[in-house]
Structure 1
């Protein structure tokens, strides 16, 4: 059924104008992002198709890729990019809201800050969270994307922004696409290499948090940081 054939009060756009976005279902919100349907299928039907290919429904949209979206009949490059842009905005909002001059006091707070952004990523994302002497977040630097190694995550890449922003310490964060946050030998080796680099510069590596799918590891809590 085409959206224009629905009663006016059931159309997503009219419903949002009248009652606000909270009144819309996930499918209806996604239909507004998709914006238009095709000759055979409405935007609502296309939204249902998108959600159907996501593992665990809406939660799985965090890891959906361009190629997967383009396999859906009726979803072209423009619609796919609109969906991916909306998902990315959601991730950034979650991080920016939580990172605004909050004082991070434990590993759970750090993990909460990045869990929804990183748990669905299919590649390893390595971040440096810079904090001041009070433990308040100054900035978050995206250090690298790809398999974690001492070559990619070099001290100069991690500490260059920390020096510029006069950070007192950094908290390292990266994800494991497998969903298992257990630290590897490479994780531990790289972490302690960065700890040594920080000691030379007078910038403490406070912790290294590894994000999995709904769980995390803290190398500090595991006493793996020397």
Structure 2
């Protein structure tokens, strides 16, 4: 017995065929290529479901790689895919391309306190308030991101390990380096600098995120708490 499908929406599929339900239940990585495209399509045509149309697109173009450079005109020519749906798919593909290119950008590698100073000295030496930053590193010691955690007063900054590690976890950092400036230009660490660093290091041990160093930036000078054996 055949069943005629009249523009079935994804919500009307049996639960085991609902990509959005499966995404919610199992996560996006559990979805097949055709399910991802079907979610973008949302609905099918009078003759085919969104999953069937997605399968047709992938088959004709030999998988996801084949649709990387598909034109709007070519994609919208499929039965059940108009300009609106084709635009949505092409936009999603373009987002993926741009994310991929971002991942290929140069990532400086930190091997010493000098590398940190070279990276941040000119950005921090003239600041008139203490800025507390964290450099997030991957397993190769490459910089993932440099984030400002807090901005303090003329001679102090406030930082809580919770806020710092929230960022590190979100960015999947393997290790971190703490950095803050002294507007006075004097890189001598305060007792608070040392205490805060040790507190953050203890928190890092619990989270398995190593705190490699704490660098203090002055005026054309810097100090490593690790090199001075202060941590």
How high is the TM-score relative to the length of structure 2?
A: 0.53
Structure 1 stretches lacking a partner, 5+ long:
1-98
Q: In the TM superposition, what are the counterparts of 1:141-180 in structure 2 within 5 Å?
A: 141-147=147-153, 148=156, 152-180=158-186
Please say if 1:130 is aligned against 2:136: yes
Q: In the TM superposition, what are the counterparts of 1:80-159 in structure 2 within 5 Å?
A: 100-147=106-153, 148=156, 152-159=158-165
Partner of 2:211 in structure 1? 205
| Post-superposition CA distance 1:174-222 (Å, at most 9, x none) | 0000000111101000000000010110000000000000000000101
- Alpha-carbon distance in 2 for matches of 1:186, 1:144: 15
Using the TM superposition, give the Cα deviation of residue 106 of structure 1 relative to its aligned residue in structure 2, in angstroms. Answer: 0.4
Give structure 1 regions of 4+ aligned residues with deviation exceeding 4 angstroms: none
Using the TM superposition, give the Cα deviation of residue 109 of structure 1 relative to its aligned residue in structure 2, in angstroms. Answer: 0.7
- Alpha-carbon distance in 2 for matches of 1:187, 1:141: 18
Aligned to 1:102, the other structure's residue is in SS state coil
Alignment length (residue pairs): 125
Contact kept in structure 2, 1:100 and 1:137, CA below 8 Å: no
- Alpha-carbon distance in 2 for matches of 1:140, 1:116: 14
- Alpha-carbon distance in 2 for matches of 1:224, 1:120: 25
Using the TM superposition, give the Cα deviation of residue 100 of structure 1 relative to its aligned residue in structure 2, in angstroms. Answer: 4.1
How high is the TM-score relative to the length of structure 1?
A: 0.54
Q: In the TM superposition, what are the counterparts of 1:188-199 in structure 2 within 5 Å?
A: 188-199=194-205
Q: CA-atom RMSD, angstroms?
A: 1.3
- Alpha-carbon distance in 2 for matches of 1:167, 1:183: 26
Partner of 2:189 in structure 1? 183
